[in-house]
Amino acid sequence: MRVSDFSEKELLGKDHNVIRHPDMPRGVFYGLWKTLKSGKEFFGFVKNRTSSNGYYWVFANITPDILHGQVTGYFSVRRCAPVETINTMEAIYAQMKELEKGANRSGAAEASWSWVEQHIQSNFDMTYEQYAMGLYLKHLKDAS
């Protein structure tokens, strides 16, 4: 609440879309839910909006909460996104948004997620989550 400048009343019981920044490609959230539904953790960068229509970046780690073999919810940890990663992610996300503009709305999110997975796999030989984690860890290593 402190970072987004929304009140508790404005956020409690609301979907994440309340703070979703319009620059965020729908494909990232498609990939997030695809990853979580497969029982895996998601790591990625997210640009959120503030109540005054500003923004802030986070490095998100979301993990399924599993009890007796059933997903009962999710744990989400948000960390400050390293400044050095923001330009990189903005460029990737801008390409995803362009793909989404030109695609059928019902398939746009899946198409942009497929593109980013292929882009990162072919250029860096890793998954989106591995790439995101690598960017984040590189910042920690460089900062020490």
User: Tens of pLDDT along 30-75?
Assistant: 999 999 999 899 999 999 988 788 898 999 999 999 899 888 999 9
The full set of domains in the chain, from first to last, is 8-143 (3.30.450.20)
Please give the helix or strand (H or E) that residue 46 lies within, else none.
strand 42-49
Amino acid identity at 113: W
How is 53-91 classified by DSSP, letter by letter?
S-EEEEEEEEEEEEETTEEEEEEEEEEEPPHHHHHHHHH
d(CA 63, CA 71): 10
pLDDT (mean) for 19-23: 86
Query: What's the predicted TM-score (pTM) here?
Result: 0.87
Edge to edge, what strands does the sheet with 70-80 contain?
A: 42-49, 55-67, 70-80
| Residue 11: per-residue pLDDT | 72
Q: Which residue has the higher pLDDT, 90 or 18?
A: 90
